[in-house]
Structure 1
Amino acid sequence: MPNRFVVALAYDRLSTFEFGIAVEIFGLPRPEMGPDWYRFAVCAIEPGPLRAIGGFQIMADGGLELLDQADTIVIPGWRGASKEPVPPALIAALQRAHARGARLMSICSGVFALAATGLLSGKRATTHWHHVEQLSQAYPDIKVEPDVLYVDEGRVLTSAGSAAGIDLCLHVVRADFGPEIANRLARRLVVPPHREGGQAQFIERPVPPAREGRRFAPLFDNMRARLGEEQPVADLAAEAGMSVRTFLRRFKAATGLPPGEWLLTERLVRARELLETTGHSIESIANATGFGSAATLRHHFRARLGTSPAAYRNRFASEATRAADMSGPKKQKAAPWGG
């Protein structure tokens, strides 16, 4: 498995939470994940002592020479965002690592250290919403995506603020080990197994009032159970015991999304699960998840995920699932797995 040796950067005034994400996902021994789990080291980009935010010091495993061995390099934040210059030695080391094929990923303000290398020029990238304007002004050649959780540009990846780094790291684990291992790790972390990179960084009211949660919880379950069916707003409002106008207002207050957008997101989640875990045809998955046709599913995959269902399956499905898919539609059976 490539990208197995992960190195996280450490620097004075280190962003503690972002660094902790890298350690938690890549640095802990996880024998339950098998013998090929990541190896991990911490690289000091400058002489110590290195202070971390919160009042403690970091003892690193080595210096910049570790970047010459790393398969994946994590930049966990950057002090001062755009206000602190990036040391030329670090820039050169990151450029060398990328040139020999290493994967570079930033969390939150770490994008500023990555941007200083020039490796994001002409590419899409993201950061915490608080830093979006700074990034756009400092690096106008970067296509800044302000309202996403993370951006995957192949061997250069960036995440939005803080906890979005968990989503990016799990995305990387999925690419390296497949969905089953990534989902198992997410359960250990007690976080959602997969939030797509295009999901908005924040919503109007991320935590609904308890009353709204109780009112909508059964409706959410019912909507998920019939993803393959048409779900008119008028019918949903009647099921919730509200007028259409009140339903639309309170649904968005509870979820941050209109009902149609919420349904689209849930349908994509289910379609991804089926692509990862079954050999059913793309057409049958599209029908079971409410898209109606493979063409419509492909359109929404491309718009939301920047890829096609077939490419997604090829990247994230198990070998057994891909083999079943290649066996052809003659072996497909109708099944109620879309509901």
Structure 2
Amino acid sequence: MKGVLPLCVVVSGAQPQLGVCEVRISVGALKLLDERIGLAEIEEKALGRALHKLYECILLQEAILAKVWCADPPTEPSFYAELAASTDWSELAGKSFAVTARRLGGYPPASSVDLAAAVAEGVLRRCSSSSVNLERPDIKVRLVVSKKAAVIGILLFRRRGDRFRFRSKRYKPFRHPASLTPEDAKLLVNLSACYRVLLDPFCGSGSVIIEACLSGLEAVGLDVDRRAARGARDNLAAFSCDARGHVVVGDACTLPFRSNAFDAIATNPPYGKSAQMRSASGCSVDECLLKEGFRVLKGEGRIAYISPLSPRSGYGAAEGYVVRVHGGLARAFVVRAKEGARACGSCS
């Protein structure tokens, strides 16, 4: 495993395009084998750093060090035994392993157990000094297969689905009915591609700035509501983020910051009746976010935000990913950049 390593990623089936965008922002170029399966080329010396970034991705489900892959795989389990036997497994010499299989979209019809047994057969054929240990294996071999692609490799990690549970609304001293879930707040931070200082000009209860601080960033939140600002400060302190995070009271349409002060903006602007309200400057919420936001952003800074409507053109390119909530209600995760900068360059 010298030089460049093929890293396979599997994103959530709920929002595959948004998941691919998030992964590309984290690790760069990604070759899609399927709408949910991608391959990235990672330098071996940078693998640890890449895995750290990928683990922070909300919509990434697992990462695999790919050993062999193919397009349009057939349904017979025997094919996967041959596929596994077609590559070198010398790293398993003298070690134990276990194989698990994941069928995306229920393909192929063979059971996951039969597919895993077939892969194990192929591995043992190439590396007879290894052994199968289903309870405590030294290495976990993984098969991920869909109608369009199959990948066999070494499982590096599977993301825990409950890791944000203790940052949910119920554990915060200040609660707001419209506050973001920690998962959505973290997704906005990731999409903003911030590397140092982030601004949330509609911070509310502070969900975005908490996730930014826990990601190692400095973050500033602003809200016109004094009660919300006090509550956001309390929430920051509750999660030990008050050293990196700051909250001020102010109008998002007349931001009290100098130009080019922030690396990125991540926010959830008010919508509905709240969005119709106008500040002392006479600007609407959208006008505030884009006009003032781009003023305080550095040259290639991004604004990542949630819109209840389809993204509208203006101020450079835009990438929008529509997420249906319930009934006819939908929202879009949008990334915009200053004119002349790529909005979501790694997502295209």
Please say whether Structure 1 and Structure 2 have the same fold, judged by a TM-score greater than 0.5.
no
TM-score by length of 1: 0.28
Greater C-alpha Rg? 2
TM-score by length of 2: 0.28
Structure possessing the higher relative contact order (Cα contacts under 8 Å, 6 or more residues apart): 2
Instruction: Name the one with the larger strand percent.
Output: 2
